[in-house]
Amino acid sequence: MIEEKFSNLEELYQRLLPALRTKKNEMRQGHMEITEKRIWLYFCENIWNQKSSLTLGEMVNDILNTDGFIIFSYGKGENYGDNRS
């Protein structure tokens, strides 16, 4: 198995962007408007910070298989992902 290493969070974000976009589009079909950045922040602050030695595949799995309503409810009213860079 090839282990991927990322030199910074921006590089990791770019690699996960297709999964983040897929989740955003899935949530849009459920009438939940959200940004890729807000989805990213949800996972960074609530899921992945509690784990170690994550693989890219595990992160993609988390993104695609987490209930969209849980992600959408995260930070509601605080504009997470809309004004943060």
Domain ranges within the chain, ordered by starting residue:
9-73
Region 12-31 average pLDDT: 95
Beta carbons of 24 and 35 less than 8 angstroms apart: yes
**Contacts of 5 by beta carbon, 8 Å cutoff, 6+ apart:** none
The tens digit of pLDDT for each residue in 59-76 reads 999 999 999 999 999 877
pTM across the whole model: 0.82
Beta carbons of 36 and 24 less than 8 angstroms apart: yes
* Rg from Cα positions in the chain: 13
Beta carbons of 45 and 51 less than 8 angstroms apart: no
